[in-house]
Structure 1
Amino acid sequence: MPTQTTGSLTAQPSKTPSTVTGLLSDMSTIGKDVVRGGYTRPVYSTAELELREWFIDEATQRGLSVEADRNGAIWAWWDTAEKDRTNALITGSHLDSVPGGGPFDGPLGIASALVALDILKSRGTNPTRPLAVVVFPEEEGSRFGVACLGSRLMTGAIDPDKARNLRDSGGNTFAAVAKANGLDPRFVGRDDQLLGQIGQFVELHVEQGRGLIELDQPIAIASSILGHGRWRLRIHGQGNHAGTTLMAARRDPMVAASRTVVAIRDTALQQAHARATVGRLQPVPGGTNVIASRVDFWLDVRHPDDAVTAAVVQSIHQQAQRIAAEEGCVVSLTEESLSPTVHFDTGLLHQLQQALPNAPILDTGAGHDAGILSAFVPTAMVFVRNPSGISHSPEEHVLDEDAETGAKALADALETLLA
């Protein structure tokens, strides 16, 4: 992957803006998952790397200066004549996906950002401060288990040593994978120079809920992100033979894990507005005729009140300990990532309301790079309607007309902020 390509957007000949649906169509064959359905594009996979190259090509065609930072994010800059990148206006999203995800989570924001720049250029806009589109890596955390890893590294929200030692399902460390893909793992971590260049960040994203369906609106402005985190539960039992070990003599961690999953569901139901999910479970060694010796499973908990999130996790841990003991097992709980509730910058929110006066205000239960950046720079989000109300699934959807409306709304917002 090239680290830099120079160019000037204003030097390119005028042309009709691309469409979001056209750019998404260009990506539609990359990373298709024939087993799960949808798309599987973990960070630094063949599919995600192909999408990175696609983005670099699209940005270069637009005359943008393309650079990769020390943490693997790609920045495509529309520079001013002075080449001064202070107080820059940034938009963008991510290209990686959850396993079997939909086609819009991440790529919609990237395609819309490129089209928004096309629209600004067609309007004759010459920005008085730099504007850039960024692609953050490992937003979903589907490979190394930590969501928004690229933005966490850039802001210092994760310790670099912890990040370097993260492992994927194949046992590969993040440090090794990063090095194989052109990064020097010694230098991953907080980037004060880059952070200091960002004046504002606006992320467009498909809505991952039903808010816009119920409001019958194509776009909305985000107000907040629910606090959320990920924890790994590990239950140790006794591995043994499925045919020779009597039921009464078993210390089966799979039984303990199953009972704990039900307890997690029941705990969340008892707390208003709480969400608790187990979406991934791995028995070891994983044989059909083998009683597992260990079961690992991952817990996602979310709530608008961070204190309630902590209380829910504590209650789940206590119940898991009780259940494990009853099954002759032991359990441990490890926090993998935690993001407090985010309230987006009120001044920037007001500016977006001026640019998009008909857009309603919504909160969201989904995490985003914008949420990580919000502790360091003024940050905002624009949501585009998802008529299925379903996300992290092949059933995720955006109507063509809503996709184009979203890109125009992003262009209007960026133009207002540039002014």
Structure 2
Amino acid sequence: MAPARSGATADRPLLRASFDGVWSDLEGVGRDPRSGGYDRFSWTGVDLGLREWFAAEATRRGLEVEVDRNGNQWAWWGAPADGAVVTGSHLDSVPGGGAFDGPLGVVSALLAVDALKAAGVVPERPLAVVNFVEEEGARFGLACLGSRLMTGAVDSSHALSLTDDDGTTLADAMSAAGHAPEHVGLDETALARIGVFVELHVEQGRHLALGDESVGVASSIHPHGRWHFCFEGEGNHAGTTRLDDRHDPMLPFAEVVGAARRLAVEAQAVTTFGRVRVDPNGTNAIPSRVDAWLDARGADQGGVVRLVDDLQRIAEEAAAGHGVGLTVTRDSFTPVVDFDASLSDRLRSSLGAASISAPTLPTAAGHDAGILASRVPTAMLFVRNPTGISHSPVEHAETDDCVDGVEALTVVLRDLLVAPLEVVPAAGGQPGAGARR
């Protein structure tokens, strides 16, 4: 399959060399040499290294770096002002994650700035490259935390009380990293500065891999959420406790795992118990408690909600049958996100004018762009993933496809920076539901 070539960049070999150079500088940060996967968790030493890398790359390009009240990093081309064109993504990872999920969008944004400057583009409005913090939720359990805090989608006091597996709160982790937690929360100043937000991301799926194009435009994000199932039983000796005397929380949990798969098939959705914590986690000890986190997603929002309700009823019956307590808490839920139609149309138009063929596709993966969509016009570009595998060390994108992504992003940003942006107020006076043309 031949990737779509745009001719948007005058010197493609130079762009490829630039991509290779910037990518290699970042590639080793937080990487496990044994598995090849990445452990890039927010407000850690590795995260500090990533943030320093971002600041250095931005400064090298003459961009002014600032950190907002929630810890998100911004690199500005032009003085910060309302109505800016914003692009970027995140640098954190899931445990043992891949190299491309998040960092590809940040690297591509920086290289797009290089290409625009080399082409002599004089922006009519500021441009910012952003690195959102804790997008994956790998440390504190809540995905897109930086963008949720900024938009007010999560209560700041609740967010600050979130803990990692070692019991460290977000507030303490921020403080230890030198960030003042008392300032986190809804940031209307930062939101007003975003005229439009365009996020480039490696595709987490195989829509593009099944076709001939290397770049696509997102239409929507499927509804998705996370639920915490806590089974509380009675710890005891694995060898001396009769089966009839046990209150083993692992047994109802095991029933629920199987039920989640069956319900997902019926609802044409997907369910995953990917994170489990067992206490005391001893081979010769009956567990006293099992904490498990469900991820549920699907194209039909009502179907996802009914699936989780049905699964909770099954869990309650299973727990009662084994003399085990159960608490189910919804950690997060993001309804279906339809990206701004006018902005997406504009992306497709500008790409088409540059002879870049970019099909429209949905995604079941969550992104900061999906959170921001409730407040500002957002759109996404996807870069082909040849296998569709993500959140894994073998996540991959071919360098030629990545360069195609940089070229596509450059074309889109150039149009947004030099042509008029007409702001259409949203219903109720809130920005974000209308279009900027």
- What is the aligned partner in structure 2 of residue 11 from structure 1? none
1:374 counterpart residue number: 373
Q: Is this contact kept in 2: 1:115–1:407, CA < 8 A?
A: yes
Structure 1 counterpart of 2:430: none
| 1:416 Cα deviation from its structure 2 partner | 1.1
Q: Give the Cα separation in 1 of the matches to 2:96 and 2:273.
A: 16
CA deviation digits over 1:362-397, x for unaligned, max 9? 000000000000000000000000112100001110
Report Cα offsets for 1:32-73 as digits up to 9, x if no partner: 124554111011122221111011000000000000111000
Per-residue CA distance 1:178-208 (angstroms, 9 max, x = gap): 1112222111000111111110000000000
Measured in 1, the distance between the counterparts of 2:76 and 2:33 equals 36
Aligned to 2:154: 158
CA contact (8 A) 1:21 1:403 kept: no
Aligned to 2:133: 137
- Aligned match of 2:76: 77
Structure 1 contact 19–404 (Cα < 8 Å) conserved: no
2:84 aligns to what?
88
Q: Percent identity?
A: 51
Aligned match for 1:353, one of 324, 348, 373: 348
- Aligned-partner Cα distance in 2 for 1:286–1:67: 43
Deviation, 1:304, is 2.0
Amino acid at match of 1:108: L
Please tell me the root mean square deviation across aligned C-alpha atoms, in Å: 1.1
Retained in 2: the 8 A contact 1:38–1:102? yes
Q: Secondary structure at the match of 2:217?
A: strand
Q: Which residue does 1:213 correspond to in 2? A: 209
**Paired residue type of 2:240:** T
Question: Which 10-residue stretch deviates more, 182-191 or 149-158?
Answer: 182-191
> Using the alignment, how far apart are the partners of 2:145 and 2:264 within structure 1?
27
Q: TM-score, normalised by structure 2?
A: 0.90
Shift of 1:309: 1.5
CA apart distance, 1:305: 2.3
Q: 1:353 & 1:44 partners in 2: Cα distance?
A: 37
Structure 1 residues 122 and 307, CA gap change in structure 2 (3 angstroms)? same
TM-fit CA distance, 1:84: 5.7
Equivalent-residue separation in structure 2 for 1:37 and 1:324 (angstroms): 39
Aligned-partner residue type, residue 85 of structure 2: L
Post-superposition CA distance 1:164-185 (Å, at most 9, x none)? 1000111001011111122221
Match of 1:4 in 2: none
Match of 2:312? 317
Residue number in structure 1 paired with 2:384: 385
- Picking from 101, 104, 127, the partner of 1:108 is 104
Matched residue, 1:3: none
Gaps of 5+ in 1: 1-15
Matches within 5 A, 1:218-233: 218-233=214-229
Structure 2: 5+ residue stretches without partners = 1-13, 420-437
Q: How many residues get paired?
A: 400
Aligned amino acid, residue 407 of structure 1: V
Of 114, 117, 125, which residue of structure 1 is paired with 2:113?
Answer: 117
- Counterpart in the other structure of 1:300: 295
* Structure 2 counterpart of 1:167, from 158, 163, 166: 163
SS at match of 2:113: helix
Large movers: runs of 4+ above 3 Å: 34-37
| 1:327 Cα offset (Å) | 1.6
Is 1:327 the counterpart of 2:322? The answer is yes
Letter in 2 for 1:20: F
Post-superposition shift, 1:406?
0.3
What is the distance in 2 between the residues matched to 1:160 and 1:271? 34
Correspondence 1:257-272 to 2 at 5 A = 257-272=253-268
